[in-house]
Amino acid sequence: MTPAIAETSGESVVYPDSDGQPMADNTLQFEWITTIKGNLDLLYADRADVFVAGDHLIYAVEGQPTVRQAPDVYVAFGRPKGHRGSYKVWEEDGVFPQVVFEVLSPGNRKKEMARKFLFYQGHGAREYYVIDPDRGRMRGSVTGAAGLEDVPDMNGWVSPRLGIRFECGTDLNVYYPDGRRFLTFVELGQLQAETARRLEREQQQTSLARQRADRLAAKLRELGVDPDAP
């Protein structure tokens, strides 16, 4: 991508659109990232003022291009949809994304995650969720009196901002406010295909029933009976 350049105090400040890091370290992490991002896109498809992004750089301070992070997924309320090379808070009416997700891979280190936590907390995230699919764990933090405070139990936790529910029992799952489970792209495709097949079967059954009714009506007319008579 072409780096974004801003003028600050007569000097050019470059805000690269990429940090050179891979989106994911393995296929499981990638699947979780795309599943969360895609389902949140669906959840807010009808909201023009909610921006959802994945693997996308956030620049928090104008003139300081090193003050940045690229969350796996984030949600910014009050910001319009649309493509961006990066998310520069000062160009977004000062709105820092309120909800941030990180999906762990075996390569993530405690110090790295601690730095990310401090970045999100320090710049205004209201909710922060860490999903560890390899270990079957979820962690959450929400804004309290002392900043981002740990969610005591993520199993059954409902996000105050998103309304989605987390489940970390035998399996890790996330659910829409109406109770539907977040589905992977493959599962969504299979559901769409099954829905199409069911509709086709129903249409065929309706057509057969109409044909039988037409044949019966024709037979009654042959017998001198008006099937449409009250």
Residue 155, SS3? coil
pLDDT at 221 over 50: yes
Its sign, for the CA torsion 213, 214, 217, 223, is: negative
| pLDDT tens by residue, 153-185 | 999 999 999 999 999 988 999 999 999 999 998
- Among 166, 180, 100, CA closest to 137: 166
The first and second tokens of residue 5, run together, are 């350049």
pTM of the model: 0.80
In this prediction, residue 25 has a pLDDT band, given cuts at 50, 70 and 90, of confident
